[in-house]
Amino acid sequence: MPKIKQGSPVIPESHLDIMQGFQATVSTLRHQDGLISTTPVSFDWDGEFVRFSTLKSRVKYQNLLVNPLITMCIICPNDFTRYIEIRGVAEMSDDPDGQFNRALFQRLTGLDEFPYDAENAQRVTVKIIPQQISTPLLYGGQLASAPK
């Protein structure tokens, strides 16, 4: 298992608005061949940790069982030149009744139930323990101020 650095990095105040979004991409290392696998996820942030839900039948779950290294990239919805990259280690916990997934779905849609899982679906909550957080501004912000 990868060594976890002491002292968790934090998201700078200048980028906290991006964390109010709900869509990100997650990259893991494929357990079959070590190639990078990237998928979109909906996420929740509690001010310290990012979490998302996945099924045990998904490739990303299998990947994280073999190698818990994970990267999440969250792009600002209003300015594609601003983003947050969180690199770290995934910590997974069973979510047998899908409570976290339902809460996330409710926050995103306003609906109380998540009717899309198969009857015997097994869910986990993935928490990212950050080792590095990057918040670069593409092209030094020149594109953000360019006429649209």
> What confidence score (pLDDT) does residue 1 get?
44
Asked whether 9 and 133 are in contact (CB, 8 A), the reply is yes
Which pLDDT tens digit goes with each residue over 10-43? 888 889 999 998 899 999 999 999 999 999 999 9
CA nearest neighbour of 90 among 146, 27, 10: 27
Question: What residue ranges define each of the domains in the chain, with the CATH number in brackets?
Answer: 13-138 (2.30.110.10)
pLDDT attached to residue 137: 75
The confidence score (pLDDT) of residue 80 equals 85
Residues 4/23, Cβ–Cβ less than 8 Å: no
Q: Tokens 């002292």, residue?
A: 7
Model confidence, pTM: 0.87
Amino acid, single-letter form, for residue 125: T
Side-chain half-sphere exposure of 121, counting CA atoms within 13 A: 17
Residues of the chain below pLDDT 70: 1-7, 141-148
